């Protein structure tokens, strides 16, 4: 579809004018804010004008219209020009750009989905291409609709390995609906980028990664329009447009100079001079607007899918030995049958995390992400932005690889479900590199994340069910060893609730645990009972939010004493419990892994690092004796 009554020449002229309008908007808003990255906007201005007002099809009044093309500003520090483009497209008044970076304004320093025209937060560089790949994957394999996804990257961020993970993933899945554009302005924050204006370096690399790639002059509107048109015709490959640009383009006294990164122009003479230079160009954009996605039909929205439930507790017998990781895969596969929005990703360990059970049941909704955890999580965030409920799994220790993507997922308000298997030293002989001892601390620190740590197959079913039914980031920690099923169908598990599983009025102390250490606590319970010492045993289940009330009342009823025991380092269950109940005057003692572990048998390691039943027994005895 062409712009109405516009010749090619007129179109080019108007797009050029729009580029300059976006430059003006970006300078005005950053000067008003007194901070921001105007020069990084200026290099991208012509590219932005062409993508928004020539290539994209978008229903501006309905940003969440499922047939819209998508745009991701991977170089998130150029946020002012993104806001300018949306304002010029009619999303909101241009005047509002002056609220940039103000407290309460949705025009934040870097884009966040608080602004409805933003799908994913950006600003930590190198993540946008993964987000875009997730959106493109959704169009091609799930919704079967022909929207396109545009991602604008900076050249500096092409140094991030996550970009190359996204690149290999997008070509592996033949995402020909994904178009990347690199704004090669040649200058990083503190010096020239690795390759300056050598656009061929990027072009050759993307070609080697299986992309259709072309180098252009990013300020030549003819070349930009041609490149975008060419991209639209490429089949079975994503396209990367490598555009040579000038940082600060349009303002003679900042253009292509180091020292201008992330610096607003001074109000008054400096800004006025800059604006006068840009305004000396043709600014007539008459008739230029975003074209709507006519003729496309999105899948119907599946109402209530998220509320779909699995039957919990029907598949396991009490006492049966089942690893929570296996119960995870099993629950996921059953959930898949009820909820068509659930999609599953894994990092080539699906036979260990047991997400392969979902693959077997629903191969069309499973995506192998290979050994590239950053892209897996970034892709999941992209799928989430398109309304899917992605569950991504790998060994819990390897989720540390994607911590920044998880953090950005929180800022993106993503509906992201993560499962980390092989928690702690109880994995045994594989040794410390495979032991997750930091994952609970990592996930607790993620604002908005919910952290669930099931101990048996039935509480794992609850964890999966709760994760799918509630929006936001959920983390499920599963374990390698088989553990007995201890819960029943009518044992309900809730977010923010722990479960008291051994209790009497004679209890001298509360022991809080989860996963393998819960079973050590139960062993300790039996042994101590034989010795006349009664302990309360609590399954924490919901590490975050934590059950302050439940833990407080357990602690109060057991002499204000709590002992925590966990297969984890600092910042996990112990600290969570201490942080929650110490204000009530309850004393919390922590057993945790506090040194670098080594290879060995699981039981040897639980003992060596002081988190087995014997460690619990001796801690309980000394604490109870001390009163």
- What residues are labeled active site? 373
Sole binder of a copy of itself in the list 6, 281, 578, 610 (CB under 8 A): 578
Nearer to a copy of itself, 101 or 325 (CB): 101
Q: Does 348 bind a copy of itself (CB under 8 A)?
A: yes
For the segment 530-559, give every residue that binds a copy of itself (CB under 8 A). Answer: 544
Instruction: Output the CA torsion sign for 217, 220, 223, 225.
Output: positive
- The rounded distance, in Å, linking the Cα atoms of 85 and 227 is 20
CA distance to 492, 505, 528, 536, per residue, from 508 (Å): 26, 9, 11, 8
Sole binder of a copy of itself in the list 19, 38, 123, 420 (CB under 8 A): 123
Sole binder of a copy of itself in the list 27, 372, 457, 495 (CB under 8 A): 372
Q: How far is the CB of 330 from a copy of itself (least distance, A)?
A: 17
Residue 122 burial by CB count (10 A; 0-12/13-18/19+): exposed, middle or buried?
Answer: buried
Lay out the site mask for a copy of itself across 497-516 (x = CB under 8 A, - = otherwise): --------------------
Q: Does 388 bind a copy of itself (CB under 8 A)?
A: no
Q: How far is the CB of 161 from a copy of itself (least distance, A)?
A: 2
Nearer to a copy of itself, 490 or 595 (CB): 595
- The rounded distance, in Å, linking the Cα atoms of 128 and 162 is 9
Q: Does 318 bind a copy of itself (CB under 8 A)?
A: no
Sole binder of a copy of itself in the list 346, 520, 567, 612 (CB under 8 A): 346
For the segment 163-222, give every residue that binds a copy of itself (CB under 8 A). Answer: 163-165, 168, 172, 188-191, 193-194, 201, 204-205, 207-209
Q: How far is the CB of 573 from a copy of itself (least distance, A)?
A: 10
Q: How far is the CB of 530 from a copy of itself (least distance, A)?
A: 27
- The rounded distance, in Å, linking the Cα atoms of 593 and 595 is 6
Nearer to a copy of itself, 20 or 130 (CB): 130
Nearer to a copy of itself, 13 or 105 (CB): 105
Angle subtended at Cα 215 by Cα 212 and Cα 217, rounded to the nearest 5 degrees: 145
Q: Does 600 bind a copy of itself (CB under 8 A)?
A: yes
Stretch that binds a copy of itself, among 98-106, 301-309, 414-422, 530-538 (CB under 8 A): 98-106
Angle subtended at Cα 47 by Cα 116 and Cα 99, rounded to the nearest 5 degrees: 40
For the record, the structure tokens of 496 come out as 């923010």
Q: How far is the CB of 71 from a copy of itself (least distance, A)?
A: 17
- Could you give the dihedral angle defined by the CA atoms of residues 251, 257, 259 and 260, in that order, rounded to the nearest 10 degrees? 20
DSSP E strands, 279-413: 321-323, 342-346, 366-368, 389-395
Sole binder of a copy of itself in the list 102, 297, 299, 321 (CB under 8 A): 102
Q: Does 400 bind a copy of itself (CB under 8 A)?
A: yes
Q: Does 2 bind a copy of itself (CB under 8 A)?
A: no
Per DSSP, what are the bridge partners of residue 140? Answer: none
For the segment 424-453, give every residue that binds a copy of itself (CB under 8 A). Answer: 429-434, 437-438, 440-442, 444-448
For the record, the structure tokens of 455 come out as 């101990």
Close Cβ partners of 611 (under 8 Å, ≥ 6 residues apart)? 425, 517, 520, 565, 566, 567, 591, 592, 593
Q: How far is the CB of 399 from a copy of itself (least distance, A)?
A: 9
Nearer to a copy of itself, 110 or 477 (CB): 110
Q: How far is the CB of 337 from a copy of itself (least distance, A)?
A: 22
Sole binder of a copy of itself in the list 51, 240, 397, 606 (CB under 8 A): 397
For the segment 448-487, give every residue that binds a copy of itself (CB under 8 A). Answer: 448
For the segment 30-89, give every residue that binds a copy of itself (CB under 8 A). Answer: 33, 35-36, 76
Sole binder of a copy of itself in the list 15, 47, 49, 121 (CB under 8 A): 121
Nearer to a copy of itself, 161 or 287 (CB): 161
Q: In what order do the strands lie in the sheet with 389-395?
A: 366-368, 342-346, 389-395, 417-421, 474-477, 450-452, 542-544
The DSSP secondary structure of 186-253, one letter per residue, reads -B-SSSB-TTTT-HHHHHHHHHHTT-EEEEEETT-HHHHHHHHHHHHH--SS-EEEEEE--TTTT-TT
Nearer to a copy of itself, 215 or 375 (CB): 375
Q: Rg for the chain (alpha carbons), in Å?
A: 27
Q: Does 114 bind a copy of itself (CB under 8 A)?
A: yes
The answer to whether residues 42 and 251 touch, using CB atoms and an 8 Å cutoff, is: yes
For the segment 349-368, give every residue that binds a copy of itself (CB under 8 A). Answer: 349-352, 356, 368
Per DSSP, what are the bridge partners of residue 475? Answer: 418, 451
Kindly state the helix (H) or strand (E) to which residue 535 belongs, with its residue range: strand 535-539
SS3 letters for 341-355?
CEEEEECCCHHHHCC
Stretch that binds a copy of itself, among 321-329, 476-484, 500-508, 570-578 (CB under 8 A): 570-578
The answer to whether residues 179 and 54 touch, using CB atoms and an 8 Å cutoff, is: no
Nearer to a copy of itself, 9 or 433 (CB): 433
Residue 158 per-residue DSSP state: G
Q: How far is the CB of 462 from a copy of itself (least distance, A)?
A: 23
């Amino acid at each position: 579809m062409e712009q109405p009554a516009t010749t090619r020449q007129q179109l080019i002229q108007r797009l050029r004018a729009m580029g300059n309008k976006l430059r003006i908007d970006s300078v005005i808003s950053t000067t008003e804010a007194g901070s921001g990255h105007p020069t990084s906007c200026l290099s991208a201005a012509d590219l932005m004008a062409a993508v928004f007002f020539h290539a994209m099809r978008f229903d501006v009044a309905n940003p969440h219209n499922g047939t819209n093309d998508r745009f991701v500003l991977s170089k998130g520090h150029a946020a002012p020009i993104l806001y300018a483009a949306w304002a010029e497209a009619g999303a909101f008044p241009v005047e509002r750009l002056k609220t940039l970076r103000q407290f309460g304004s949705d025009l934040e320093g870097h884009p966040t989905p608080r602004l409805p025209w933003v799908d994913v937060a950006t600003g930590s560089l190198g993540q946008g291409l993964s987000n875009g790949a997730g959106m493109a994957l959704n169009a091609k394999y799930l919704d079967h609709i022909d929207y396109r996804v545009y991602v604008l990257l900076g050249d500096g961020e092409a140094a991030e390995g996550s970009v190359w993970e996204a690149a290999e993933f997008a070509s592996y899945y033949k995402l020909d609906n994904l178009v990347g554009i690199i704004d090669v302005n040649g200058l990083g924050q503190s010096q020239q980028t690795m390759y300056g204006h050598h656009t061929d370096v990027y072009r050759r690399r993307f070609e080697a990664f299986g992309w259709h790639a072309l180098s252009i002059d990013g300020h030549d509107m003819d070349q930009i329009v041609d490149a975008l048109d060419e991209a639209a015709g490429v089949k079975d490959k994503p396209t990367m447009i490598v555009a040579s640009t000038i940082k600060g383009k349009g303002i003679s006294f900042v253009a292509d100079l180091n020292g201008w990164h992330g610096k607003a122009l001074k109000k008054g003479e400096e800004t006025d001079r800059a604006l006068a230079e840009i305004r000396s160009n043709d600014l007539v954009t008459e008739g230029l607007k975003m074209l709507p996605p006519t003729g496309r039909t999105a899948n119907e929205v599946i109402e209530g899918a998220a509320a779909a439930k699995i039957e919990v507790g029907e598949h396991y017998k009490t006492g049966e030995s089942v690893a929570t990781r296996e119960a995870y895969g099993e629950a996921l596969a059953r959930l898949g049958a009820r909820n068509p929005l659930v999609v599953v990703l894994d990092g080539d360990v699906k036979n260990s995390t047991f997400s392969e059970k979902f693959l077997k049941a629903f191969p069309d909704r499973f995506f192998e992400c290979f050994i590239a955890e950053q892209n897996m999580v970034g892709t999941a965030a992209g799928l989430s932005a398109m309304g899917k409920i992605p569950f991504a799994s790998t060994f819990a220790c390897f989720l540390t690889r994607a911590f920044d993507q998880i953090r950005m997922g929180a800022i993106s308000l993503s509906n992201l479900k993560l499962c980390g298997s092989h928690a702690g030293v109880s994995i045994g002989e594989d040794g410390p590199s495979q032991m997750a001892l930091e994952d609970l601390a990592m996930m607790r620190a993620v604002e908005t994340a919910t952290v669930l740590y099931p101990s048996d197959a039935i509480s794992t079913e609850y964890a999966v069910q709760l994760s799918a039914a509630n929006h936001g980031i959920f983390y499920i920690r599963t374990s390698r060893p088989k553990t007995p099923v201890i819960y029943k169908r009518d044992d309900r598990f809730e977010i923010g609730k722990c479960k008291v599983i051994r209790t009497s009025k004679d209890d001298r102390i509360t022991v809080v645990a989860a996963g393998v250490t819960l079973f050590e606590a139960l062993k300790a319970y039996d042994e101590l009972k034989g010795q006349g010492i009664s302990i309360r045993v609590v399954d924490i289940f919901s590490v975050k939010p934590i059950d302050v009330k439940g833990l407080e009342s357990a602690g109060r009823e057991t002499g204000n004493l709590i002992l925590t025991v966990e297969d984890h380092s600092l910042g996990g269950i112990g600290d969570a419990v201490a942080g929650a109940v110490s204000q009530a005057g309850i004393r919390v003692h922590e057993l945790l892994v506090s040194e670098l572990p080594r290879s060995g048998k699981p039981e040897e390691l639980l003992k060596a690092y002081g988190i087995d039943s014997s460690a619990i027994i001796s801690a309980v005895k000394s604490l109870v004796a001390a009163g």
